[in-house]
Amino acid sequence: MLEAALDGFLGILTLESFGWMTLGLLLGSAVGFLPGIGGPSTLAIMLPFVMTMKDPYAVIALLVGFDAVGNTASAFTSILISVPGGAGSQATILDGYPLAKQGQAARALSASFMASLLGGLIGPVVLLASLPFLRPLVLSFGSPEFFVMCLWGITMVGVLSGNAPIRGLLAGILGVLIATVGLDPKSGVPRFVFDQTYLWEGINLVLVALGMFAVPEMIDLASRKSTIAESQEFGEGFMEGIKDCFRHWWLLVRASAVGLWVGFLPGLGSSVADWFAYAHAVQTEKNPEKFGKGDIRGVIAPEAANNSKEAGDYIPTLAFGIPGGTSTALILVAFTAVGIQPGPDMLTSQLNLTFAVIWTLTISNIIAVALCMALARPLAKACFVPFYTLVPPILVFVFIGAFAANFSSYDLITLLFFSFLGFLLRRYGWPRPPLILGLVLGAKMELYLWLSVARFGMEWLLRPGVVALLVLVAASFAFPIWKERLEKKRALAA
Amino acid sequence: MSQDSLILEKRLFSLFIFLVLIGAVFVASQWTLRASIIVLLLGGVGIVLAIFQLVSEFKSTSESPPAPAGIAFETPQVKSDSRWGNLEIWSWILGFYVGILLVGFLIAVPLFVLVYSKIYGAGWPVSLGLSLFCWGFVYGIFDQLMHVPWPRAFLFSFF
């Protein structure tokens, strides 16, 4: 294991990989800093370019570096202008913005950066500690267990994203069905191709991801044409914020644990980690009445959680090949394209690559926080970028990224089709992450299901691991629906 | 835009998804088991779920109690009153696509960026700078470095 750790470390620290990691963390910080551009949208734009890269270390450095730091810089806009730069910093507004209005923006920002750093360091340590336990578990799995694990992943993402369990599951199923488009690799049957040879090779995931995330976000940004309210002064107390993190170290550790757990469970994204951690802080800390009025603990808890969550995301992604969230689903696609096969191999023959992920998470967090702290004052002044300078370049990147998928004019039509579908899903409150996850896992699920049936007949359903996982699937599906009905009944009674 | 028309739109969309699933399962039933197994299994489950979804949407009215307040797990959906804003940006997107078809990427890209940013209030230096940056990106990386085979622009096919 030590040798793999060293290999991973040296792989990340080559000039090329380190350069890509720097680019990734700069991009991730910029995306986190700018409201209206999401991490998944940018990852979708990056995919066509990344998939042409050959070096797995470079791909890990770029994508994991990008993914690890988005939540750190997003605190700027949450605290200074009450607009979350990313989904993971929504709860930070509750106390960060009041602190800024009290002239303590510097204290809130430094506390958020330090909490992000410590949360971002606790995450990889736990990921590292979990490896010895994960290895025997993953190696004991056969195709039936992997099939039900995939099913569980889609069920979790479906029922937990968007407060609409049935719509979420349906979106996941649609994703799996979209994955079947094209010639069946084994039997050669053309599936859902409508006599179009363009569809024989299936639908490129890049086009779906761009259409589902990047274009609807741009439509939203362009439609709102919003102007941001007054920006707050930078204020004083920069060092005080750093000390605050050490004063409330136990809250920071607990919030990081909440973030890790949220990351580990497929379907619960950054937008949940910060709220869960905030709620946990309010429920367990002394003087809860101070929260929401400018309490520094309300900044520390969500910021620690949203960064530790990123490491938690990689546990199911690397060990089982089941992404913890939308960003890791897209990263998984890029990994597979360059020959990194998440699953048992990542804990055995490709352990060095797992360590490369751990090192990238750690190093990029340290660099991003150092950058944010060093550039806090000038960045605070440049918080607002008008929509008309963001929308056209990003649409250009989206179109060119889509065209680069296959260098075919049909790619642009496919992009427009999925953009419209993504727009409708968003408009009618259908969660989009399950569809992407279904598309990512579709081919694997089909293979696992067929292998299970071919090898074990219907008896695969009676394997103890399968039964246990099916109970988990059923519980994951039934519990939110039961809870939703209960809350509706209560609302009606009130 | 009224709440009733949004509810109608939502129902129609759910109905559309239901019909898509029915169609998928019907088509897949004519394939070999190897090719159809996942579609039949998950499509079948999907049809049952879509029926539940349709029933719950047709039962709900604009007077129904609001959805229970919970944590928003995704960015808020587009506001129902932003229909015109949506149409406006969709027109831009489709216009950009038509521009690519007519004059090709290398001309459509700077043109789109310049016109969009200028119309919505950017000054000349910003608009021109953005256009130049985008054109430089497309030309430098895709044309010069990657030698991308651009699709033939419709207007230039006559020359």
The reply to whether residue A272 touches residue B96, judged by beta carbons under 8 angstroms, is no
Helix (H) or strand (E) holding A191: strand A190-191
How many structural domains does chain A have? 1
The reply to whether residue B39 touches residue A180, judged by beta carbons under 8 angstroms, is yes
Q: For the CA atoms of chain B, what is the radius of gyration?
A: 23
The model's pLDDT over A240-262, given as tens digits with 9 standing for 90+, comes to 888 998 999 999 998 888 888 77
A284 or A256, which is more confident: A256
Structure-token pair, residue A282: 């309010």
Q: For the CA atoms of chain A, what is the radius of gyration?
A: 22
**What pLDDT, on the 0 to 100 scale, is given for residue B70?**
38
| pLDDT surpasses 60 at A403 | yes
Average per-residue pLDDT in chain A?
81
Q: Determine, yes or no, domain membership for A356.
A: yes
Distance CA A36, CA A38 (A): 6
Q: Determine, yes or no, domain membership for A494.
A: no
Candidate from A239-243, A267-271, A434-438, B94-98 with smallest mean pLDDT: A267-271
| pLDDT surpasses 80 at A488 | no
Distance CA A216, CA A372 (A): 29
Q: Count residue pairs from A and B with Cβ separation < 8 A.
A: 205
| pLDDT surpasses 50 at B66 | no
**What pLDDT, on the 0 to 100 scale, is given for residue B69?**
38
Q: Determine, yes or no, domain membership for A286.
A: yes
B75 or B30, which is more confident: B30
Helix (H) or strand (E) holding A6: helix A2-12
Amino acid identity of residue A468, one-letter, is A
Q: Which of A82-96, A278-292, A359-373, B73-87 has the highest average model confidence (pLDDT)?
A: A359-373
Distance CA B153, CA B134 (A): 19
pLDDT-derived band at A270, boundaries 50, 70, 90 = low
Nearest residue to A94 via CA among A106, A71, A112, A117: A112
pLDDT-derived band at B50, boundaries 50, 70, 90 = very high
**What pLDDT, on the 0 to 100 scale, is given for residue A84?**
66
- Residue whose tokens read 């029926």: B51
pLDDT-derived band at A269, boundaries 50, 70, 90 = low
Q: How far is A47 from chain B (nearest CA, A)?
A: 15
3-class state of residue A190 by DSSP: strand
The model's pLDDT over B92-149, given as tens digits with 9 standing for 90+, comes to 999 999 999 999 999 999 999 999 999 988 889 999 999 999 999 888 877 887 777 8
The reply to whether residue B113 touches residue A177, judged by beta carbons under 8 angstroms, is no
Amino acid identity of residue A221, one-letter, is L
pLDDT-derived band at B78, boundaries 50, 70, 90 = very low
3-class state of residue A155 by DSSP: helix
Structure-token pair, residue A3: 């040798």
Domain that holds residue A374: 2-226+235-488
3-class state of residue A287 by DSSP: coil
Distance CA A306, CA A145 (A): 30
Q: What is the DSSP string of A460-472?
A: GGGSHHHHHHHHH
Interface residue B72 vs chain A (CB under 8 A): yes
| pLDDT surpasses 50 at A297 | yes
- Residue A487 buriedness (CB in 10 A; 0-12 / 13-18 / 19+): middle
All residues at 6 or more sequence positions from A216 whose CB lies less than 8 Å from its CB, including other chains: A419, A422, A423, A425, A426, A432, B78
| pLDDT surpasses 80 at A276 | no
Phi, psi of A141 (to 5 degrees): -80, 140
| pLDDT surpasses 50 at B80 | no
Nearest residue to A313 via CA among A127, A172, A146: A127
All residues at 6 or more sequence positions from A354 whose CB lies less than 8 Å from its CB, including other chains: A4, A8, A131, A318, A346, A347
| Cβ proximity of A210 and A476 under 8 Å | no
Average per-residue pLDDT in chain B?
82
| pLDDT surpasses 60 at A223 | yes
Nearest residue to A295 via CA among A88, A81, A107, A82: A107
Q: How far is A251 from chain B (nearest CA, A)?
A: 21
Residue A486: how many other CB atoms lie within 10 Å: 11
Distance CA A402, CA A44 (A): 9
| pLDDT surpasses 80 at A63 | yes
The reply to whether residue A184 touches residue B109, judged by beta carbons under 8 angstroms, is no
Distance (Å) of CA A85 to CA A82, A89, A413, A445 = 9, 7, 31, 35
- Nearest-CA residue of chain A relative to B64? A492
**What pLDDT, on the 0 to 100 scale, is given for residue B115?**
94
Nearest residue to A402 via CA among A216, A195, A174, A203: A203
The reply to whether residue B138 touches residue A424, judged by beta carbons under 8 angstroms, is no
Please identify among residues 134-163 of chain A the ones whose CB lies closer than 8 Å to any CB of chain B: 160-163
**What pLDDT, on the 0 to 100 scale, is given for residue A382?**
61
Please identify among residues 82-111 of chain B the ones whose CB lies closer than 8 Å to any CB of chain A: 82, 85-86, 88-90, 92-94, 96-97, 100-101, 105, 109
A358 or A178, which is more confident: A178
Candidate from A5-14, A147-156, A220-229, A399-408 with smallest mean pLDDT: A220-229
- Residue whose tokens read 């307040």: B69
Amino acid identity of residue A355, one-letter, is F
* Mean local confidence (pLDDT), A388-395: 86
The model's pLDDT over A70-123, given as tens digits with 9 standing for 90+, comes to 778 878 877 876 666 666 777 787 788 788 878 888 888 889 989 988 988 887
Distance CA A259, CA A257 (A): 5
**What pLDDT, on the 0 to 100 scale, is given for residue B77?**
43
Distance CA B43, CA A165 (A): 17
Choose the closest CB to B13 out of A90, A416, A428.
A428
3-class state of residue A38 by DSSP: coil
- Residue A127 buriedness (CB in 10 A; 0-12 / 13-18 / 19+): buried
Choose the closest CB to B120 out of A192, A223, A388.
A388
Partners of A182 in the beta sheet? A191
3-state secondary structure A220-254: HHHHHCCCCCCCCCCCCCHHHHHHHHHHCHHHHHH
**What pLDDT, on the 0 to 100 scale, is given for residue A82?**
66
Candidate from A140-154, A229-243, A317-331, B142-156 with smallest mean pLDDT: A229-243
pTM: 0.76
| Cβ proximity of B132 and A392 under 8 Å | no
| pLDDT surpasses 90 at A178 | yes
| Cβ proximity of A61 and A21 under 8 Å | yes
A343 or A452, which is more confident: A452
**Domain residue spans in chain B?**
3-59, 85-158
* Mean local confidence (pLDDT), A174-181: 93
